Structures are given as C-alpha cells and as structure tokens.
Structure 1
Amino acid sequence: MSDVLLEHPQPHVALLRLNRPEARNALSQSLRAQLAEHFRALSADETVRCIVLTGNERVFAAGADLKALLDAGPIEVLLLNNQRMWEAIAGCPKPVIAAVNGHALGGGCELAMHADIIVAGQSASFGQPEVRVGVIPGAGGTQRLARAVGKFNALRMLLTGEPISAPKAAELGLVSELVADEEVLPRALALAGQISALPPLAVAQIKEVLLAGLDAPLDTALMLERKAFQLLLASADKREGMSAFLEKRAPIFRGC
C-alpha cells in the first residue's frame, strides 16, 4: 500500500495522509519521494486550491527512519538530494494546512513547519530530538523553528531535544489553532474549505509575498506587497468580488 494516501474530501481541497502506521509514519525515503510527487502534482492541479496534510489519530510523523541512517555516509546522503523533495512542499504555491495529532518529532516537526497553518490537537507534541542521537535537524528545523518561536525558545528545544506540548507550542506561536483531538482534521478541512472559497490568485499572492518578505528588508517587502496588490487589480476575480460585495450577493471566484 502507498506510504501517502491522496483523498479529495470536498471541492477544491486535497487531503494527504501519511500511511506508515507500523513505523509511526517515520519519513522513509519512499514516503518522502511520494509526498514530493503528490505536492508537485497538486501544485499544478488547477482544481485544487488548498492542501491538508495529516498523519493518523495517534501520530503525525515520528521523524527520520534511523535504521536507514545508522550506517549512511555523507556522500550517500548527499547523492539522495533530499532537499529537492522538501522543496516540492516548501515551494507549493497553494496554502498547506498541517493537521497534527500525536507526535510531530524530528522530521515530523520539520514537515509540519513546512505548512502555512498548523492545527493541533490538545494531546499533540512537537520537538526536534536529533541532538540526542548525535546529529542536528537536516530539513530546516533549526531555521524554521527559530523563525516560528524565536531564538531562545528554539535553542532550548534544539539543545535539549525535549518536546513541547501542543498548548505550549500554541503559546509560543508554533501552532495556529489548538482544538480537541477529535476535532483536528474536521477543523483543518473546514479552514481549507473557507480558504478554497476565496479568490485563488489573491490567496496565492498573499502566501508568496508573505514568505518572500519575511527575510527581506521592510522596504523591499512593502514593494513586493504593492506590486502584488497592483497586479491583482487586473484579475476577473477582483471585479467579481467587488461587484458581489456591492450587489450584496455571494461571489463566484474562478481563479483568473
């Protein structure tokens, strides 16, 4: 059976489920390759406007497959070009929502941080325990974590390897929404439906400008914002949205 399952639970929404329950959804080479393939295809699929990524009710993803790494050498790992697989997720132009139940540890935490919104259950936990096995995060964990929770909180997590609870992650800004465990996927799908009903071009521009501007000087980031605003004035969805508002009716956005 596939390591990643694709579903279409509602119009314009794709749901990706990690499917290695016997290994706590550890991120094997096969799983990462399948995940990247799905993200590339969904990025190009005009019928999909939002992607939800989840594990199961007990675990989101428990990190890398240590058995595969135990005897791996640097050149062997270098030649895998795993960064290309992660880039397929990081470069997805469509909003990605991570629905997290259970553990999101190591590569699982890094995977969740590749999303744009994280919905977590009360019993979920997040951590980067790589230091405990003699390595460091290798898929953006040091950089994305610091940008999410700040230098001092990130270093405490990274240097101790200790996980934090979902309520603590929400307090630090790592989690977007905290809900009851059984409400994680329904809430993520509801958010996906809400976003998918909005004009796709504007949604894509918001994501692109925000991410590009995070590490740019403020003047540059504001310029990117202005240009995106000006560009969207030419869209049919702008006219539809404003006309619908003035006419007090529901808009129909077509992504053009």
Structure 2
Amino acid sequence: MEVVVVERPREGVALVRINRPEARNALNGEVRQGLAGAFTDLARDPEVRAIVLTGNEEAFAAGADIKAMAEAGAVEMMLREAHRLWAPIAACPKPVIAAVNGYALGGGCELAMHADIIIAGEGAQFGQPEIRVGIMPGAGGTQRLTRAVGKFKAMMMLLTGKPISAREADAMGLVSSVVPDGEVLETALTLAETIAGMPPLAARQIKEVVLAGADAPLEAALMLERKAFQLLFDSEDQKEGMRAFIEKRRPAYQGR
C-alpha cells in the first residue's frame, strides 16, 4: 500500500494524501520520503499550479512514529537528516493548502504549518505534545508556531503539550478557515482550483516575498516586494491580465 498518494482531481490542482490509516497517518520515514518525493516532482510539474495536502477523516497526521525513535541516540537522529525530507515541502514554490481533519499533532501540526493556507474541520485538533514524551518539536514547531500565534499562545501549547480545537486555532491565527468536517477537502480543492486559475508567476512571487520578508527588516522586505512587483511587468501574464480587465473578458494565464 502506498503511504503517500498523489492525485490530479482538478485542472491545475494536485492532491497529496497521507495514507497510513492504521497509524493515524503517523509520519514514519517512509511517509516522509514519500512526501519529499511528491513535492519535489510537483514543484517541477508545469501543469500543477496549486497543491492540497491532506490525510483522512480521522487524522491529518497524528505526529511522528514514536516507535521509530524511542531508543535512538543523538548521533543516530542527526545522521537520519530528517530535516532534508522536510525541505521540499518548505521550499515548494507553489501554493500549498493543508486540508485538516482530526488530529494534527506533533509532526502533523508542523507539517500543516508548512502549508500556506490551512482549512480545518470543526473537529480538528492541533498540538505540539512532544514535551509529554521527554522531547521538544524538531521540525519547526517552536519557530513556525510562534510566528503564527505569538509567544504567549505558543508557549502555552509547547509547555503543556495540550491540543487545541479548530475554533481555538482559528481565534489565535493558526488556521485560515474552519468548516464542517465533511466539507474540508471540497473547500480546499475549490480554493486550490481558484488559485490555479490565477497567474502562476504572480502566485509564486507572492509566496516567495511573504516567506522571505517575514524574517527580514521591514525596509528590506519592502525592497523585495518592489523588485518582485516590477519583475512581473516582464511577464506575458501581466499583459494578458490587464488587457482582459480593460476588455472586460476572462484572462487566460499561461505562466509566462
């Protein structure tokens, strides 16, 4: 059974599904390898303009596979170089939407935070429970979470290990939208389809500037924004988009 399944449900949209239901989609080495390979391939595919990442109705991903690390030592963990398997997701130039049902805990919460937009079901739970098994987040949980919700909310989650509901996550800014559990995937796919219809070069530049600017001084970030804005005026999509607006017709973006 494939632990990571890639589908093409709509034009311009790829769906990446974690498929380990017997383990609540826990992120073992095989899953991480599969995700890294999928995102590497999709990043290079010109037909894909937006990506939806999901699990199943019970769990997005319930964390790392504890059995695979319980007896590991520091050197062994270092030599596994797990961070290299996260890199293709973090560096994906295309918009990524996480469709979250059920548990998004530990590595699952970190995985969701690699996305650009998070659509959560009303029954979803988010958390970083690593402290409860004697460790701490190791794939961005202390850093992405703090940037998303602020120090005080992040510390509450990190130091207690307690999960929060989708509504709590929405209130603190951790998710983009909360919808009924049965509508999560459809909402994410519809949103991805909308984004896929936008000019892909502009979408790529928006994502790049938002992520790069987040850790830069304001003046440097504004300079990045100006340069990207100016660069897009050399694209065919910019000409097409503005001409279509003037001519009151629907644009046809080609990603050039």
Tell me if TM exceeds 0.5.
yes
For 1:104, what is the secondary structure of its paired residue?
strand
Spell out the pairing of 1:182-221 with structure 2 (5 A cutoff).
182-221=182-221
SS at match of 2:64: coil
SS at match of 1:118: strand
Using the size of structure 1 for normalisation, the TM-score is 1.00
Q: Offset of 1:74 from its aligned partner?
A: 1.1
Aligned residue number for residue 97 of structure 2: 97
Measured against aligned partners, the alpha-carbon deviations of 1:168-220 in whole angstroms (never above 9, x if no partner) come to 00000001011000000000001000000000000000000000000100000
Q: How far apart are 1:107 and its partner, in Å?
A: 0.2
* CA distances 1:21-74 after superposition (whole Å, capped 9, x unpaired): 000000000100010000000000010000000000111100010001111111
Local SS of the residue matching 1:233: helix
Aligned to 2:241: 241
Q: Identity of paired residues, percent?
A: 64
Is 2:34 the partner of 1:41? Answer: no
Shift of 1:80: 1.1
Structure 1 segments unaligned to the other structure (5+ residues): none
Q: Secondary structure at the match of 2:234?
A: coil
- The answer for the alignment partner of 1:230 in structure 2 is 230
Shift of 1:77: 1.2
Aligned pairs, number: 256
- Give the drift of 1:12: 0.7
- 1:160 Cα offset (Å): 0.2
Determine the structure 2 residue equivalent to 1:84.
84
Q: Which residue identity lines up with residue 149 of structure 1 in the other structure?
A: V
Unaligned runs of 5+ in 2: none
Shift of residue 137 of structure 1?
0.3
Q: Which moved more, 1:74-83 or 1:213-222?
A: 74-83
Measured in 1, the distance between the counterparts of 2:59 and 2:82 equals 23
CA–CA separation in structure 2 for the residues paired with 1:13 and 1:72: 39
Q: CA RMSD in A?
A: 0.4
SS state at 2:31 partner: helix
- One-letter amino acid of the counterpart of residue 34, structure 1: G
> Which letter does structure 1 place at the counterpart of 2:125?
S
Aligned to 2:21: 21
User: TM-score, normalized by length of structure 2?
Assistant: 1.00
Using the TM superposition, give the Cα deviation of residue 75 of structure 1 relative to its aligned residue in structure 2, in angstroms: 1.1
Aligned residue runs from structure 1 range 124-163, under 5 A = 124-163=124-163
Opposite residue 220 of structure 2, the aligned amino acid is T
